[in-house]
Amino acid sequence: MGANEGRAHVLMLVSHFYGHIIPLIQFARRLAFKGIKVTFATSLSATQSLQPGNHLISLLPTYDDLTHGGLRGPDGLSGFLQRFQDSTTKVLLDFINKNHERRQVKCLIYDIDLHWALDVAKQTGLQSAGFVTLPLGSTAAYYLLNLKVHGEELKVPPLDIPDFSDTGISDLVDGPGLDRISPVLRHYLSKFDNFGQADLYFCVTFDKMEHEALEWMKIICPGMATIGPMVPSAYLDNRMENNTDYGFNINKADMSTLEWLNTKEPNSVVYVASGSMIDITLEESKEIAMALKSLGCNFLWVMKETEIPKKLPSNFIEETSEKGMFVKWCPQLQVLSHPAVGYMVTHCGANSLMEAVVLEVPVVGMPKFVDQIPNAYYVEEVWKVGVNAKKNKEGAYSKEEIEKCLRELMYEEKGKEIKKNLKQMKQHAIEAVSQGGSSDMHIEEFIARLVHGPTLS
């Protein structure tokens, strides 16, 4: 670390959403571990919940979402995004243009969902690097959907994946026209407005996990490099001291979950979680509950405390009291790495999937919308690390289907094959981040570019 310390400084701009902060703070730590100074810029509320974990990482709040309102402020999501952009642009320009900082800041790394940040890099003469928070397969799926929405033709050979025009948040995208899709999807696709124009792009996965999608994306975006998985070092190469979590805890730690797991047999617990952004519907909750009860298995279920009484069948908690535990939050990394946890029912968010892969936990996919849908496709069809529950003709996940998927993982040959695949995938992940591995090498090449100039890549 000493050879590089203080020789380069990067500014890292991150969306305030939990699922975006997690991989980027881990990237900041990997850079800091190698001696690169990182200024981590995001909303005020996020900076107040972060522990950087390295003296080379400093926090820069760019928008006061506590005073001026986050998503609950005026005009909802669109209002928040505009306020965040206006405030952040000013803060970043002021920061970069300070004389004593400008001599050191070499590159702006930005979450590509904040695509407008590329203009800040170009305006100030900084190198630019976009950070792709989704797996490359899902990124490719939505790149293709964006072309469809804009009525543009693909100019390269197609990637062999399904058409993901049914995004779960608007009507089926059946032709061009921004006015035909929801505002949320419009924002979601806006990341492709200047995609490919930054100097470099980083992705959260690793070469052997997404080889085919990576090679295809390199045609679209030649500067693409995998640097993942962005999971704490303690679960992978173990090179970074005390790197056991993300240092971003929006809830108070509750060790009772781990104490409960200690009472259960190895591989006996089904972990049910749907991420920080979405809630499982009333109907889905009841179908999952009935599937778990029918199986008679142990389960740990993350659900908002206020939702528990109304989202479960009557007497379910009492009837499964010896088998199940409900929590409003839990330390997911520690839970997934616990010997008692054998399976996960998940919405297929990118971070949860990466953690499940690294910790060798087979998954049942129940995706809801946008990237979760192609993520789930890759889970079963490409990576082969889990199975996906299929919706019935009413568009719902049934108790019978959820139970069938869990039985496949628990008792059938397919489950054994999935566990073998996960073991191999875990080994590939460790190799990627270890010294000399593909992800580590891409980070080293980036540092060389920072320290010696962009002619080295």
**Residues with catalytic function:** 20, 111
Cα(353)–Cα(382) distance, rounded to whole angstroms? 13
CB 356 within 8 A of CB 363: yes
Residue 138 · residue 350 · CB < 8 Å: yes
Distance CA 199, CA 447 (A): 14
Residue 41's nearest CA partner among 100, 1, 101 is 101
What's the CA gap between 153 and 151, in Å, rounded?
Answer: 7
Unique residue bearing structure tokens 């305006």: 123
Query: By the 8 A CB rule, do 422 and 357 touch?
Result: yes
DSSP string, 427-454: HHHHHHHSTTSHHHHHHHHHHHHHHH-T
H-helix or E-strand containing 13? strand 9-13
Q: How many C-beta atoms surround the C-beta of residue 97 within 10 A? A: 12
Phi-psi label, residue 434: left if phi above 0, alpha if psi -120 to 50, beta otherwise:
beta
Burial of 302 (0-12, 13-18, 19+ CB in 10 A): buried
